[in-house]
């Protein structure tokens, strides 16, 4: 039976012999309320999983306002005990801005974090 997360990702998603989970936080443009609702649903889904996950966060086409970065930071902090590796994917400006924000506000992360513009590179790193 195929299981899907609240964001519509197949769970678990098998890639190059490994297993990853995609948080589809992209394509929300300026609809932060819908994004925050999805973050809460994904959080509940992941917290219900018995293992630590390699997680890929898609942020393409989502405007990273301070409010969005604050909510995303809180979401990732709460999920930290369930994340083994974290790859954040988006355009250069968004990735760079988020990286600076997380470094300043989220403290030291327990999981390894990498930032990418290419989803395939991110997924490959997650399963290595």
Mean pLDDT by 10 residues, the chain (128 residues): 90 94 95 97 96 94 93 92 94 83 73 90 96
Instruction: Give the SS3 label for residue 62.
Output: strand
CATH of domain 3-127: 3.30.750
Taking CA 55 as the corner, what is the angle to CA 72 and CA 9, rounded to the nearest 5 degrees? 95
Under DSSP, the state recorded for 93 is H
CB 10 within 8 A of CB 4: yes
* Confidence (pLDDT) at 54: 97
* Confidence (pLDDT) at 103: 83
* Confidence (pLDDT) at 116: 93
Two tokens, residue 114 = 């990498």
């Amino acid at each position: 039976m195929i299981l899907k997360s609240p964001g519509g990702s197949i769970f678990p998603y098998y890639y190059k012999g490994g297993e990853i989970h995609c948080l589809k936080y992209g394509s929300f443009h300026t609809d932060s309320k819908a994004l925050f609702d999805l973050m809460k649903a994904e959080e509940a889904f992941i917290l219900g999983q018995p293992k630590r996950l390699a997680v890929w966060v898609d942020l393409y086409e989502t405007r990273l306002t301070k409010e969005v970065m604050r909510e995303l930071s809180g979401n990732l902090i709460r999920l930290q005990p369930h994340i083994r590796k974290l790859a954040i994917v988006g355009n250069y400006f968004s990735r760079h801005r988020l990286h600076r924000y997380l470094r300043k506000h989220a403290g030291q992360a327990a999981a390894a974090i990498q930032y990418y513009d290419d989803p395939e590179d991110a997924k490959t790193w997650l399963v290595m």
